[in-house]
Structure 1
């Protein structure tokens, strides 16, 4: 049964992608070990993530979305390292055989694997026994020239700028919308935050709602951007646990402080939601947006530091890149208002699905 499932949902549908990469995948699914070939003078990069049902995804999430996101989170780690994908392995622990779920999951996984030319090269499928929850574990492999050692979190330097891709916080809005749809919005709100969040969601235009839900379920890893940042960025990571919490990793490792400019973060949101200034409570909406940006997660956008003389080169790479802060002596994450006053930001990241109970 196990081998039949592997052939039907993984070896057969993914076979073409492996065959399209004969110089990289020497042996894939079907042997005890996969064999991958690195390009000459390249280094190997690898990352592993595990997703547990009820913790990282809802039990009733579309399986195609779950498949996409499972690989996207790993590919995002390669992007944050400036590495290009080689292939990945998949481990599945299932409480029962659900053919419909497996078909959808496999389809979503194949969609993103094909998009980023990252073939499935091996893995394992096993019973979860008495555990009623699915567990998915993916290990991804990538490569980069030996001259590129990645973007070490300890390499941020005083005077460098802080950059973001996309609009961090969008996935958090998607999660709030999902909880609202389920009638459980209060579970994600602290203290008197609920009415503020309700007002924010009510003000969001329909198109922004769709973008937020898509960002939560099917984020697009910034592989191309990561490659372009070679030679430009110093420290870099992907935003999986929230801007304040993730940026704190750079701050701590580099023994510096990161100053985020409130005006720059607000400008970032205005570009995506230009109508927000027409709202009666625009200032209040921007305030709650910034709070979600700092504490939210699962956007899988990139956050990096770079010397100011790289500013124009980075800005020319593509649209949707935002310079939002600066690295200074000290420690921690700080938010600077237009009046130059600063407020220390908690670096505790929000764990999106810690409270999920399906």
Structure 2
């Protein structure tokens, strides 16, 4: 039964993509090991992530979006390293065989795999035993020129700009909306924060609601951007656990401090939601948005540091790239307000062992 399942939902639908990459995929699904041919003069990059039902995706999420997200969040790690995808393996632990769920999951997985030319080359499917929750583990493989060794988190330097792609915090809005839809908003924000979040969600325009939920469910890894940042970015990572928490990893590794600009972060939201300035409490809404931007995860946008001399080159790469702060000597993460006051940012990032479960 296991092999029929693998053949039906994975080997057959993913076969054409593997065959289209026959020069890279020497052995794939059905053999004891996958064999990948790395191009001459290339370094191998690999990353792995696990998604657990009830933690990383809701039990009633559409299986197609779960499949998409499972691979997309792994591909985002390759993007943050400046690597091109080669292939991936998939491990599934299931409480039961649900053909409808598997068909949808496989379709979403194939959709993102095809878009980024990343063939499925192997894996394992097993029973979860007494565990009633699905677990999805994916390992991706990529390559980059031997001259490129990735964007080391320890390479940020004082006076470099802090850049982000897209709209960090947008997926956090999507998560809050999904909790609200299920009547569970109080599980992820409490007290005064809950009231502020409720006030924000109540006035979100429909176009922003759609974008936020889409970003949460189907993030788009920034593979092309990661490649274009070769020679421009010093340190880089993807935003999976929130801007403040992820940037803190860079600061610790590089032994530097960072100052984020509240005005710059607000301008990103104003561009996406120009109608916000029509609200009487625009300042309060923006404050809540910035708080969620710092805290929220699952954006899978890129955040990187770069020397000031690269500013024009980065801006020429395309729209949606924003310089939101600066690296300084010292320690800690700070927010510079429009009045030039500095406020220390701490304890606002996503924590896998502290946040509410889905």
Aligned pairs for 1:81-160 within 5 A: 81-160=81-160
Cα deviation digits, residues 225-267 of structure 1 (max 9, x gap): 0000000000000000000000000000000001100100001
- Secondary structure of 1:80's match? helix
Counterpart for residue 38 of structure 2:
38
Q: Which ranges in structure 1 are unaligned for 5 or more consecutive residues?
A: none
User: Aligned-pair distance for 1:332?
Assistant: 1.4
Q: Give the match for residue 278 of structure 2.
A: 278
Give SS of 2:325's match.
strand
TM-score after normalising by structure 1: 0.98
Give, in whole Å, the separation in 2 of the partners of 1:342 and 1:146: 41
Q: Residue 216 of structure 2 corresponds to which residue in structure 1?
A: 216
How many positions carry a matched residue from both structures? 357
1:71 counterpart SS class? helix
Do structure 1's residue 11 and structure 2's residue 33 form an aligned pair?
no
Alignment of structure 1 residues 228-239 onto 2, 5 Å: 228-239=228-239
The 8 Å contact of residues 54 and 133 in structure 2, kept in 1 or not, is answered as yes
Could you say what the CA RMSD is over the residues aligned between the two structures, in angstroms? 1.0
Deviation >2 Å, runs of 4+:
351-354
Pairwise CA distance, 1:347 = 4.5
Question: In the alignment, is residue 356 of structure 1 matched against residue 323 of structure 2?
Answer: no
Q: Does structure 1 conserve the Cα–Cα contact (< 8 Å) formed by 2:188 and 2:355?
A: no
- Offset of 1:348 from its aligned partner? 4.3
- Taking the aligned partners of 2:345 and 2:154, their CA distance within structure 1 comes to 20
Report SS of the residue matched to 2:147.
Answer: coil
Q: Equivalent residue of 1:325, what SS? A: strand
Partner Cα separation in structure 1 for residue 233 and residue 126 of structure 2: 41
2:330 is aligned with 1:330: yes
Indicate the SS of the match to 2:140.
strand
8 Å Cα contact 1:172-1:292 kept in structure 2 = yes
